[in-house]
Copies of this chain bind each other. A is one copy, B any other.
Amino acid sequence: MTDIQRYNPTVLWSDAVSFNGIGYFVEVPESGESFREQTLALLTQADRTLQAIGSDKSRLMMATIYLTDFSNRAVFNEIWVDWLPKGHAPARVCVRAELASPDLLVEIAFMAATRQV
């Protein structure tokens, strides 16, 4: 019997939470100025988080992608396709939204399977 695991909990949020074979996590880019730099940084962070929770990018189930500007969508998709293992794309939403800081251009909420159950 396993219970909730939290990764790097702060007073505001945890970097990831896992429970019963599923991990929940949100990434905003920790570096980068251009949209391309931020997206690459975010996906590298996602790889690290996935490893921490015992998963990897072949096990994503759902991604909710927030872009501040849809003119960045083509670049996003290009980087996204390069990053995802073929045949393992999650379900995904992609909407335009304003994010917490005007410097942030992309944010993604993920759900991933962490193990077979």
* Residues in B neighbouring A90, C-beta threshold 8 A: 13-14, 17, 24
**Chain A interface residue count, Cβ-Cβ cutoff 8 angstroms:** 54
Name the distance in Å between A60's Cβ and chain B's nearest Cβ: 8
Near B by CB (< 8 A), chain A positions 96-117 give: 96-100, 107, 109, 111, 113, 116-117
Tell which of B26, B70, B95, B117 touches A91, judged by Cβ atoms closer than 8 Å. B26
**Is B91 within 8 A of A99, CB to CB?**
no
Residues of A within 8 A of B (CB): 1-4, 6, 9-17, 19-22, 24-26, 59, 61-64, 66, 70, 73, 77, 80-81, 84, 86-100, 107, 109, 111, 113, 116-117
